[in-house]
Amino acid sequence: MKSLFLRYRHGLILLIYMVLYLTWFSYLEKSITAPYQLIFMKVDNYIPFMEIFIIPYFLWFLYVAVVMIYLILFDKNEYYRSCIFLITGMTIFLIISTIWPNGHNLRPDLMGNENILARMVGYLYSIDTPTNLWPSIHVFNSLGAHLAVMHSPKLRQHKWLRWSSLVLCTSIILSTVFLKQHSFFDVITALIMGIVLYLICYQHERLFGWATRNANKRTDNLAERSTGESPNGSLDNHHPDESFTDESPNNSLADQPKV
């Protein structure tokens, strides 16, 4: 039992953070009801309500959980990278919701709609207030889960898995606006945040490697101009075929006095 704990103890990082996140988010849900900044874009009026999207919306919980459990068990390196991505974005969301309370009034009246999907939407509305929305964590975490699938060496080997993840991720993102859970603004800003953190978490070697190479190049150029030497320490004006001697023109035989 102890060896099993030591083997997977890295999973505690996400577990401890989720306890902190849910505690903080629960406080926001109970304390921030009104007044708040209303989030709205004109395009929201043209997006229809479609209760069928309650299915991918609820699948989000399973999607993110399964991906992260897999990483804990089989891909520690990708797990750490995903943790940095998810924890950073979710913490930014909590900070924004704390200092800038926000919400919307996009939800439709479900009275008279008694099908099973509408009832599921009604249940969602009853447990999730239309506040603390920006940026959308449903969108951001779905993007994070898909990135993990695409970058995990074992998972990305399966074409069907990559495409399934993409379809599910896309449908979850669409569900946030078709269920009127989020404004289009929440979705766009979540995607922007995801792109920025993707560059930091997944492309940092290229970004910082490029910056380091350019910095080293500038340093070498400055050293070359100040010392007259190239970065490898050789004199710029010295030809490799030339030899150095202590002889000067005055010491040559041609300049010796004749007897």
The sign of the torsion formed by the CA atoms of 44, 46, 47, 49 equals positive
Would you say residue 168 lies in a domain? yes
- CA-CA distances (angstroms) from residue 132 to 91, 94, 167? 13, 8, 26
Average pLDDT over residues 190-199: 96
Q: Count other Cβ atoms within 10 Å, centred on residue 121.
A: 25
Would you say residue 250 lies in a domain? no
Domain that holds residue 125: 52-209
What's the CA gap between 157 and 137, in Å, rounded?
Answer: 28
Average pLDDT over residues 13-26: 96
What's the CA gap between 137 and 187, in Å, rounded?
Answer: 9
Would you say residue 197 lies in a domain? yes
Q: How far is CA 211 from the centre of its chain?
A: 20
* 3-class secondary-structure state, position 103: strand
Would you say residue 5 lies in a domain? no
Split into its structural domains, the chain has a count of 1
Nearest-10 crossing angle of helices 184-201, 204-227? 50
Whole-prediction pTM: 0.78
**Residues 186 and 136 sit within 8 Å (Cβ to Cβ):** yes
What does pLDDT average to over the chain?
85
Would you say residue 222 lies in a domain? no
Tens digits of per-residue pLDDT, 103-157?
A: 999 999 987 777 999 999 999 999 999 999 999 999 999 999 999 999 999 999 9
Would you say residue 66 lies in a domain? yes
Please tell me the predicted confidence (pLDDT) of residue 74: 95
Would you say residue 155 lies in a domain? yes
Tokens describing residue 98: 């704390």
Tokens describing residue 49: 């309500």
Would you say residue 27 lies in a domain? no
